[in-house]
Chain A
């Protein structure tokens, strides 16, 4: 049985990765299981300078998922390069994807430049964070900006560049095509859906930031649909995510057209979730006589 997937020229041991923002730098979960068993991890979204993020509360549980408004709190790219990355690369074999964000086009370019000569395997460009004032989602909902940022990052990057798309758009294929035409090597989708929860007793939103990103099993049908649409619109490969809780959820994303999948919110439900998703895919392959996990990619049979 083969679980290896070649994505943008990089060989992933298996198609299961963890989603940025839910998994720190991997070391927290490595206390529960050896994270080298995963295909890779996408680290907490990085910016040039350290960021403190938004005020608390930053999380609200909702039916079928949760809202977050962390706002890209992170120690800055230099701390990542000098501390977390060397540690990950010395001790772990899973691939490391650097998730990068910025407030300006130049920020993104500089992030890619600063990661050029590092052991980072791939860049995931966050143009879809709903929780920051400057940049973030505003960049990912305008096809011209998607193109501009993709070009800026590509011009500086030494690693393959994956653009992370926002679901908060009318037509996600338009953003996908914009990224592809500007030279993106791959796409990842979806980021969180902009949402809100109000405490009816106090009449105040739960989140200090009022609104936040909705994730969890409730978003899965939307995410699968978007992966399906994007897979038909572009030729570059896709990382699919959005509410994956188990192996069969992951298989669904692969059938819709994803080459790799990311597990996010499920890590909070169960610290072993990502590992269980991987084992669940293998179980499915055994049960259904699938010899090579690559057979699943885009194998949906539309009615």
Chain B
């Protein structure tokens, strides 16, 4: 049986402006988590009735790491938790990335969409990693990502790394790529799909939608695909790029 897990916060810090990192202690969660999956966290402030889906950044032993951006009341409450506080959450949920061994992997991420790619990069064999951020202050986990593969950083304003989009960098090196894994803002994912099509590469995209139940019951968070509207929380969040329809 699945459970609503109790997870103690054992570490908390603001990793970048408005972005909070928490390390949660729960053996079952850490052991079951796969790259690209998420947790559905109860906001126990007596006001917010919906949980917040947050992607898993990493997990090891009995610890799971999540990083999220403060966007509204719910994530603000979550950001105000302290070490020693206990969160209630469902997870790990969803279908994450499927690793294809032996393939030369490109990993493309943008903004807060870079976090769910970390555990993936650790699992892959020396991927080429292309991460895009707004500016120098928002560049996070640079050292950690660079230990897992060949890291290329781009910023929108040129204040750090390449001046432009991460995907432009990826296109320059596309000959060395068999498969692309991506997570980030919707326009970026749409561009990744186009890039994959242009060069005949396979790609997996982690899609984001506003969610309800988190387990496939309410049909709120659907992604338009070639086989109809599919549940992001259950059948996703990762879909093959050739299935996803961007309007």
Supposing A44-B219, A217-B49 touch, asked if A57 and B42 sit within 8 A by C-beta, the answer is no
A284 within 8 A of B: no
Which of B74, B213, B221 is most buried by chain A, counting CB atoms within 10 A of its CB? B213
Across the interface, which residues of B come within 8 angstroms of A63, CB to CB? 47
Supposing A57-B210, A61-B50, A66-B50 touch, asked if A32 and B220 sit within 8 A by C-beta, the answer is no
The count of chain B contact residues (Cβ–Cβ below 8 Å) is 32
A-B contact pairs, 13 of them (CB 8 A): A23-B217, A24-B217, A24-B218, A31-B2, A53-B219, A61-B48, A65-B49, A70-B218, A70-B220, A73-B229, A268-B50, A269-B50, A272-B4
Q: Which A residues fall within an 8 A CB radius of B?
A: 21-24, 28-29, 31-33, 44, 50, 52-53, 55-61, 63-66, 68, 70, 73-74, 206, 216-217, 265-272
Give residues of chain B (42-62) contacting chain A, Cβ–Cβ below 8 Å. Answer: 42, 47-51
Closest to B50 in A: A61
Which of A29, A58, A272 is most buried by chain B, counting CB atoms within 10 A of its CB? A58
A52 lies within 8 A of B51 (CB)? no
* Bound-complex Cα distance A70 to B214 (A): 15
A22 lies within 8 A of B4 (CB)? no
B161 within 8 A of A: no
Closest to A265 in B: B49
| Nearest CB of chain B from residue A231's CB, rounded to whole Å | 27
Chain A residues touching B, majority SS: loop
Across the interface, which residues of A come within 8 angstroms of B211, CB to CB? 59
B212 within 8 A of A: yes
Selected contact of B222 from candidates A24, A50, A58, A265, CB within 8 Å: A58
Convert B62-105 into 0s and 1s, putting 1 for each residue whose CB lies closer than 8 angstroms to a CB of A: 00000000000010000000000000001000000000000000
Closest to A58 in B: B220
B222 lies within 8 A of A271 (CB)? no
* Bound-complex Cα distance A142 to B74 (A): 39
* Bound-complex Cα distance A144 to B223 (A): 38
Across the interface, which residues of A come within 8 angstroms of B224, CB to CB? 55
Across the interface, which residues of B come within 8 angstroms of A266, CB to CB? 49
Across the interface, which residues of B come within 8 angstroms of A57, CB to CB? 209-210
| Nearest CB of chain A from residue B30's CB, rounded to whole Å | 20
Give residues of chain B (115-135) contacting chain A, Cβ–Cβ below 8 Å. Answer: none
Give residues of chain B (1-15) contacting chain A, Cβ–Cβ below 8 Å. Answer: 1-4
* Bound-complex Cα distance A32 to B232 (A): 20
| Nearest CB of chain A from residue B70's CB, rounded to whole Å | 15
Across the interface, which residues of B come within 8 angstroms of A23, CB to CB? 217
A31 lies within 8 A of B222 (CB)? no
Across the interface, which residues of A come within 8 angstroms of B48, CB to CB? 61
| Nearest CB of chain A from residue B101's CB, rounded to whole Å | 29
| Nearest CB of chain B from residue A130's CB, rounded to whole Å | 15
* Bound-complex Cα distance A256 to B123 (A): 57
